[in-house]
Amino acid sequence: MKALRIQSQQDHLVAELGKLARSEQDRILMAEAIAALDDRYGLSAKMAGEPGVEAILQQLAGRITSAFEPLSTVQGKRILDLACGSNTSKAPAFVYINTPFGESRIRIASTENYTAQFEPWFCRILLALGAQPVGVDLGDLEGEAFEHYRADLGQSGALDFLPSQSFDGIQDSRLFGSPEFTAQFPNAADRLKVAREIRRQERRLLKPNGILIHSDAEDLVR
């Protein structure tokens, strides 16, 4: 029974993401990517064991399919994910998820323990699709197959080591809601200062025709 439930989790996710695909080829590419994540990271078991993981995957995969059409054009693209999540990340009390299927508010039972929701799924999906993701986070990314760096994004100049105009796409979506970050910067004015620095860096790092896939920093500054 447990094996069937786990398999149904993967099947459901693939079916939902298939609704976002603009072609049969895109559906195949995304299904193959999800299968690869399941083989390498036990994605189906994590979805079955922790509510909210599937919604995270829907959100992140939805951003990729919205940014790249056809989906095969993501192959070879160098894409930066700021505050990408890690294998030691913890979650806030609530996570707001805005997927192509609607918004939801996911309650996290414990903010003291590891959560699969904050693993670096965006970079993992991109890698499975043939892109060249680069993840930056303060947490543990040791053993990940994609290029990654450890950096404190709350510090000015933390991304200066990355060359200007070196990325085809950039996203940030997890920094400002993380409990570690809000504990470090409890003052809203300080968080806004960090957001302005990240927005500046994003504009510096993007190629002239690059895509800002998603940016919480941009939204906060607005």
Do the beta carbons of residue 130 and residue 141 sit within 8 Å?
Answer: no
Pairing of strands 78-82, 167-172: parallel
Helix (H, G, I), strand (E, B) or coil at 48: helix
* Tally of CB atoms within 10 A around 23: 12
Q: What is the DSSP letter of 76?
A: T
Structure confidence by residue, pLDDT tens digits, 55-114? 999 999 999 999 999 999 999 999 999 999 998 876 555 555 555 666 566 665 554 566
The residue type found at 221 is: V
Give the whole-angstrom CA distance, residue 165 versus residue 209: 9
Global pTM reads: 0.87
Domains and CATH numbers, the chain: 2-221 (3.40.50)
Structure confidence by residue, pLDDT tens digits, 26-65? 999 999 999 999 999 999 999 998 878 999 999 999 999 9
